[in-house]
Amino acid sequence: MIRIEPYPLDEEAGQRAGERWDSIAKPLGSLGLFEETVVKISRIQHTENVRADKRRVIVMCADNGVVCEGISQSDSSVTALCADEIAAGRSNVNVIADTVNADVKAVDIGVAVPTAAIDRKTACGTKNIAAGPAMTRDEAERAIQTGIGLVREAKAENIDIIVTGEMGIGNTTTSAAAASVLLGLPPREVTGRGAGLDDARLANKIGVIERAVAVNRPDKNDALDVLAKLGGFDIAGMTGLFLGGAECGIPIIIDGAISAVAALIAERLLPGCRHYMLASHVSAEPVGKLLLDSLGLRPPITAEMRLGEGTGGLMLLPLLDCALAVYNKAHRFDEIALERYRPL
């Protein structure tokens, strides 16, 4: 049983942050979602002096048994290869993380073979969801606990903000399957081309998801059942990151569609968990916007990204830095003898 006691939100700190925004010599609310994001972080951090200096991206790496159904361009060997590259600091996420001053933790939470990533392996990959459950309920809970533990470690290191990332061939299939059940939508409405499938392979992917749902008969009212039957260890680990953020009072950034599925599962397991989440971008995968809408979250970035690894989530950080620069350094109405804007 997963038990989380959420870190309380500080509404007074949020009010003070809003008042600081309104004191800056500019039209009220004119930085839009970035103002809302800073206020949201202030509630989580219990201070209007928002911090985002120490940042980390945690990339959950895992293999998915459903790859045997031909639903991806690549085979499972690519998961281990990419996990090794992330651990070595050479992948896409590392390049962006270096640019925005974030550290990267590659976590092997379920790759089929040994890797250079941090070893927190739940099992050597999941089973084929088209033939039965991906994992046991106990395995799902253990993978979630791994994610929670990683956030606790980050808190002990005084990390201010965490980006969720994943690497696992086949995980656009597992995430679409889980999203289909959680959102109550047909698989064809939530399934995209992933890394670039042609029409025939996309049709096969949709068919595999339809079979997976029919075979497993997940309970849409039990998010853990949906995760265990249709998900992956990477999704379970990210679910734990979101739950850990709520427990530890650390803002957790949602990356793309796969990360957003984990965010929705976390919200279903712990209602209100979304108040500790920050949306970064809306994925090019068709389910991306649907998932964020279901969480009541609006992403500042619309750029048709679908790279994964946490790359889209990292893109939010320099924009947040710009907003915080205005928040902390821009001139105030009372400093330049300018009459304040007032809500009309």
Residue 280, in any domain of the structure: yes
In a shared domain, residues 252 and 193: yes
Cα separation of the two ends of the chain:
50
Residue 25, in any domain of the structure: yes
Three-class SS state of 279: strand
Nearest to 115 by CA among 74, 80, 65: 80
The pLDDT tens digits of the residues spanning 129-183 come to 999 999 999 999 999 999 999 999 999 999 999 999 999 999 999 999 999 999 9
Whole-number pLDDT of residue 344: 66
Kindly list the catalytic residues: 309
* Minimum mean pLDDT range among 18-27, 57-66, 174-183, 332-341: 332-341
Burial class (CB in 10 A: 0-12, 13-18, 19+), 106: buried
Angle between helices 233-248 and 223-230 (to 10 degrees): 150
In a shared domain, residues 210 and 255: yes
Whole-number pLDDT of residue 196: 75
Burial class (CB in 10 A: 0-12, 13-18, 19+), 310: buried
Whole-number pLDDT of residue 302: 95
The pLDDT tens digits of the residues spanning 207-230 come to 999 999 999 999 999 999 999 999
Residue 343, in any domain of the structure: no
Residue 238, in any domain of the structure: yes
Please give the residue range of the domain that contains residue 113.
Answer: 55-319
Return the bridge partners of 278, or none.
253
User: If you average pLDDT over residues 24-50, what whole number do you get?
Assistant: 97
Nearest to 142 by CA among 228, 65, 63, 267: 228
Burial class (CB in 10 A: 0-12, 13-18, 19+), 298: middle
CATH number at residue 251: 3.40.50.10210
The DSSP H or E segment spanning 137 is helix 137-156
In a shared domain, residues 66 and 200: yes
pLDDT bracket for residue 338 (50, 70, 90): confident
Residue 220, in any domain of the structure: yes
Q: Can you spell out the DSSP letters for 153-203? A: HHHHTT--EEEEEEE-TTHHHHHHHHHHHHHT--HHHH---TTT--HHHHH
In a shared domain, residues 157 and 143: yes
The rounded distance, in Å, linking the Cα atoms of 182 and 221 is 8
Whole-number pLDDT of residue 103: 98
